[in-house]
Each structure stands twice: as C-alpha cells, then as structure tokens.
Amino acid sequence: MGCKISRIEYFLPKDVLTNEELERSSGRWSADKIEKKVGIRQRHIVRRDETALDMAYEASIKVLQGYDKNNIDFILLCTQSPDYFLPTSACILQEKLGLRTDIGAFDFNLGCSGYIYGLAAAKGFIHSGVAQTVLLVVSETYSRFIHEKDFSNQAIFGDGSAATIIEKDNEEFIFEFVLGTDGKGWDKLMVPYGGLRHRYDPGAEAIEDESGNLRTPNNLYMNGTEIFNFSIDRVPRLVAQVLQKNQLPMDAIDYFIFHQANRYMTEYLRKKIKIPEEKFFHDMLHTGNTVSATIPIALRETLGQGVVKQGDRILLCGFGVGYSWGAVVIKI
C-alpha cells in the first residue's frame, strides 16, 4: 500500500507589487537590481479584506474542480496567518467547501518547511488508516505582517496558496522523509507581538534598521544573515540525509525542488550541493517567496510545463522559520 499526490493547484491574489513600485517607494534600489539579486520581478499581495483562509478556499475550489469532493476525508491546513486564534481555519474551510462532516480537519503553524510536514502527516494518516484522501492546503499572507516601510522584506515575500490532494494507492509514490527542528532559531524570523506573550501594541514605535527599513515589534522581523547561515549549513546535510534514507545516489534524482527563499540563496545552495542547473527549479520571478506555498507552486509549474514527467523522482526540500526543516523523495 502507498499514497500519491494526485492533484495540485494554486491561487495567487490579484494585486501585485512590482519592482518599479518598490524602486519608487524605497528610493534606494533600481527595479533591475532587485530582480538580479533576488530573482523576483513582482509579488502578489492580498487586499486588506482578503485573508489566507480566502486564498485557501480559492486554491481548494480549483483543485476540486472535476473531482468528487466527497472523497476528501481529511483537511490539513498550514498557515501562520490565520483568520482567528480560534476556531481553526480548517474547520471553516470544511464548511465553505461543503465537505463531509465525518472528516478530520486541523491547522498547523509552520512556514517554509510546512509543505513537507503536510505531506508527512498525510502519508502517516493514509498508512495508519485514519484517512484515505487528504486535502493539504498551504496559505500564507506575510504581507500583512510587513511594515509599509520595510522594503527588504517586501522585496522578498509574496502571498499565495496551494491545494494538494494526496490519495491512497496500491503503489508508493511518497517515499522516506527527513524532518528536523532547532528552536534556537526561534527569534531569527518572527512576528514578536500579536500573540499572547506580547499582545499587539497599536502604539509600538517603529525602529529603523541598518539598511534603512522601518518596523515595529508588531511586524515581521527577519535576521537575513542568520537565516542564510542556517540554510547553507543545514540544507546540504538535509539533502545528503534524505538521499541516504531513501538509499539513492544523487544522480538517481530527476529533479530538485527547494523552497524558493530568494534566488541568491537557492543558487548558492545549488552550487554548494553540486546539483546540475537543468535539474534544479528556479522560479520566483512572478510570485516572490510565498513561504509554505513555494514548493507546491513549483511542482504545479514543472508538471504543467512538462519539465517533470510521470515516473520522475523528485526531491523536495523546505527550510526556514522555527528553525524547521524537512525533505522527501516523491515520484509523480
């Protein structure tokens, strides 16, 4: 017995933030320089009245098109920008989609590693008989946490959502996972205020960082240097570990899809791990870093373009906020 990814669709909000707009508002970088450095030309941004749950719904509607939605017997929803503290967004999504009520549903809070963890949980549920068909949705709106004058983070992050259906199958298509956690990086990428440790403070003072960006503790904070250090230290080992666990040499992998953090970082990682360019996904030009959605968006794109074909072995790898990381080998 096994399981497989049978469908993937994604949804991006309509509004976009272009490099030209960033050039105007920041007064610092040229649009070309932004694209050259981080590999991003534009990012989609939610409207003020649009949430991660709304996007999760749109992505789910797309993936369920022409599919019997009554097959779905579990919803896993990954987000760090939920509509409410409670209830969990996955419960609201069950109702909005008109799914059966005898199914499980919950949210989990992870960022760039979230899709890998979702696949691991889905596989676990299917193998243990808890579920047969899992709807895994990742949806993120970091833009809502970013200060209007924090141009560095605005240049990197975009909003987006992706929905994946994972089904029970006679054969296994989702192979061995390696997951990892190191909470010592908890304060390197975070939104300090807004939870119950430190409530949202409307009077919080904005502080300027060394690069001239403004932010208050209500906003998203990223220590770019430390996140970079974490990634270049951890990801090469993670790739080696997941290959070893799957008893595969590197050249048995047809394609590598890493979390699309920013082009500078993914390109550095590719070279460091010595992955051939033609086997490596590199595209965040029109989406930016959509956190947990980058991997399924990449999968959908490569499948759509025929870059990845049926029977190909793909290595997926996510890493970031937490610190949290995970990798898996799958077959399409």
Partner 1 sequence: MKKRTFFEEILEWMEIEPVDINEDTVFRELKDFDSMAVMSIVAYADEKFEKTLSAEQLQGMNTVRDLMELIGMDYFD
Contact between 268 and partner 1 by CB under 8 A: the answer reads yes
Per DSSP, helices labelled H in 179-332 are 224-245, 263-273, 294-305
Tell me whether residue 112 is one of the annotated catalytic residues.
yes
**Of 49, 102, 171, 210, the one binding partner 1 by CB under 8 A:** 210
Q: Say how far apart CA 310 and CA 251 lie, in whole Å.
A: 17
Contact between 264 and partner 1 by CB under 8 A: the answer reads yes
**Of 3, 38, 55, 275, the one binding partner 1 by CB under 8 A:** 38
Cβ 274 to partner 1 shortest distance, Å: 13
Q: Of 179, 328, 318, 123, give the one whose Cα is nearest residue 246.
A: 328
Cβ 2 to partner 1 shortest distance, Å: 39
Contact between 237 and partner 1 by CB under 8 A: the answer reads no
Contact between 224 and partner 1 by CB under 8 A: the answer reads yes
Contact between 228 and partner 1 by CB under 8 A: the answer reads yes
Residue 286 is encoded by which pair of tokens?
A: 């029109």
CA 251 to chain centre: 26
Q: Say how far apart CA 236 and CA 168 lie, in whole Å.
A: 31
Q: What distances in angstroms separate CA 128 from CA 71, 131, 132, 148, 289, one per listed residue?
A: 17, 8, 9, 46, 34
Q: Which is nearer to partner 1, 37 or 47 (CB)?
A: 37
CA dihedral 324→271→220→323, nearest 10 degrees, is 20
Q: Which is nearer to partner 1, 80 or 152 (CB)?
A: 152
Tell me whether residue 3 is one of the annotated catalytic residues.
no
Residues that bind partner 1 (CB under 8 A): 28-29, 33, 36-38, 152, 210-211, 223-226, 228-229, 232-233, 264-265, 268, 272
Residues designated as active site: 112, 259, 289
